[in-house]
Amino acid sequence: MSAAWPLVALGEVLKRADRFESKDELSEYQFAGTYSFGRGIFRGENKQGASFQLPKVQRIKTDDFIYCKIMAWEGAFGLASKDVDGCVLSGAFVAYEINRKRLDPKFIDYFFKIKSVWKNIGNKSTGTNVRRQSLHPDEFEAATIPLPPLAEQQRIVARIEELAAKIHEARGFRQQAVEETEALIVSYAHRYDLDSCGKLAQGWISTTLRDVVTLVQDLHKVNTDTTYPNIGIFSYARGLFKKPHIAGLQTSATYLNRVHAGQFIYSRLFAFEGAYGMVNDEFDNYFVSNEYPTFNCNTEKVLPDFLYAYFKNPTVWKDVAVGSKGLGDRRQRVQPQQILTHRFMLPPIEYQYGLRQLMAKAGTLKQLHSETAAELDAMLPSILDKAFQGAL
């Protein structure tokens, strides 16, 4: 922190709000809470007075500074926005009015987004273990904040927000590029600009998945002394992800299916919301339950890359899911037979290889987006450090 700024006790610029009111069991209350890691205040659930045991609740107003006594050690500090004005808090929270003649509300809000700040102050919590620790208001109010003149605080806040806006804009541009590339991939797989006759004229054929893929299983009997690497499938055709290993001693499954690179895979339970994917080299030899049917592709006719791109279209999920049985949408299972009998337009294999190249470039773009997103995420903490060192 800047040595040129005087250190001022928080209790000198914050005053405990006294807006407690007795609970009315017939009234409905909109609760608020604090995110951890200095991420601010959120609107919680509505509760009827008769449904909770608190004898009193406290009202909060816009620009109150709030912290959670039992989660201060994890950065549960933040500034109340207009969105939570009038909400109520339980006794686990302390709300403060800010002396605006000395302290800009956004200045203290940004101050508590610095990890070292909330960790140092949160570490003043006392209790038998981390999850039972509580930061007493007296301890919080005794902590200090470097406090330049109000005009300088406002200048610093404006500069932080200017840079934060640029970071947000850059993140938006990168996300937009990824989304546009995804849309291009789907369009490439479906060629919305061509009707059936136009596709047939360019060598596409009308076929069913049964004609180009084969339902396969590589079943392995579960051993109680073995753990099995496991994968899941993101909804909305966002690919595969690693799940915690399956412990043979704990699973009720007798057999698990081992998947192999190049296979097409889906989730029977979540196919209705796009849980389709392609097994790439990263997930080769992982295991899944029988809820995840796998298919080998006849690569002389169809590439798994094409099927993955084709199944990114929500219309396809709906078409395939017609006739699935279950108790409501979220209980419906799409069976392999529904996949195999699905009819679609298949482009020539050369066209599919072109799509594969496009998807490889998209993968590179996603990786770049992920890396730059991490860099952008690290920029704001760096900006805040400089701001409160007087270097911004």
pLDDT at 33 (0 to 100): 94
Architecture label for domain 7-147 = Alpha-Beta Complex (3.90)
Q: How far apart are CA 75 and CA 127, in angstroms?
A: 17
The boundaries of every CATH 3.90.220.20 domain in the chain are 7-147, 205-346
Partner residues linked to 213 by β-bridges: 297
| Ramachandran angles phi, psi of 242, nearest 5° | -80, 135
Q: Which of 177, 232, 170 is nearest to 362 (CA)?
A: 177
pLDDT of the residue at 115? 92
Q: How far is CA 224 from the centre of its chain?
A: 34
Q: Under a CB-based contact definition with an 8 Å cutoff, are residues 373 and 171 in contact?
A: yes
What mean pLDDT, rounded, does the chain reach?
Answer: 91
**What is the predicted pLDDT for the residue at 132?**
61
Cα(392)–Cα(387) distance, integer angstroms: 5
What pLDDT is attached to residue 324? 57
Cα 351 from Cα 199, distance rounded (Å):
12
- Rounded Cα distance between 162 and 167, Å, is 9
Structure tokens at 148: 């330049």
Segments in the chain below pLDDT 70: 1-3, 127-132, 323-331
In a 13 Å sphere around the CA of 272, the CA atoms on its Cβ side amount to 14
Homologous superfamily (CATH) of 205-346 is DNA methylase specificity domains (3.90.220.20)
Cβ neighbours of residue 272 closer than 8 Å, sequence gap 6 or more: 317, 318, 321, 324, 329, 330, 332, 334
User: What would the pLDDT profile of 350-381 be if each residue is shown by its tens digit?
Assistant: 999 999 999 998 888 777 777 777 777 778 88
**pLDDT at res. 328:** 46
User: What is the pLDDT, as a whole number, of residue 176?
Assistant: 86
The tens digit of pLDDT for each residue in 172-193 reads: 888 888 889 889 999 999 999 9
Q: Identify whether the C-beta of residue 173 lies closer than 8 Å to the C-beta of residue 369.
A: no
Q: Which amino acid is at 363?
A: G
Distance, in Å, from the CA atom of 43 to the CA atom of 53, rounded to the nearest integer, reads 20
Can you give the three-state secondary structure of the chain, one letter per residue?
Answer: CCCCCCEEEHHHHEEECCCEEECCCCCEEEEEEECCCCCCEEEEEEEEHHHCCCCEEEECCCCCEEEEHHHHHHCCEEECCHHHCCCEECCCEEEEEECCCCCCHHHHHHHCCCHHHHHHHHCCCECCCHHHCECCHHHHHHCEEECCCHHHHHHHHHHHHHHHHHHHHHHHHHHHHHHHHHHHHHHHHHCCCCCHHHHHHCCCEEEEHHHCEEEECCEEECCCCCEEEEEEECCCCCCEEEEEEEECCCCCCCEEEECCCCCEEECCCCHHHCCEEECCHHHCCCEECCCCCEEEECCCCCCHHHHHHHCCCHHHHHHHHCCCECCCHHHCECCHHHHHCCEEEECCHHHHHHHHHHHHHHHHHHHHHHHHHHHHHHHHHHHHHHHCCCCC
**What CA–CA distance (Å, rounded) separates 118 from 116?**
6
* pLDDT attached to residue 122: 85
Residue 226 CA neighbour count, 13 Å, CB half: 12
Cα(238)–Cα(186) distance, integer angstroms: 12
- Give me the pLDDT at residue 322, please: 79
pLDDT of residue 377: 74
Which among 326, 325, 308, 318 has a CA at the least distance from the CA of 342? 318
Report yes or no: 295 and 213 within 8 Å, Cβ to Cβ: yes
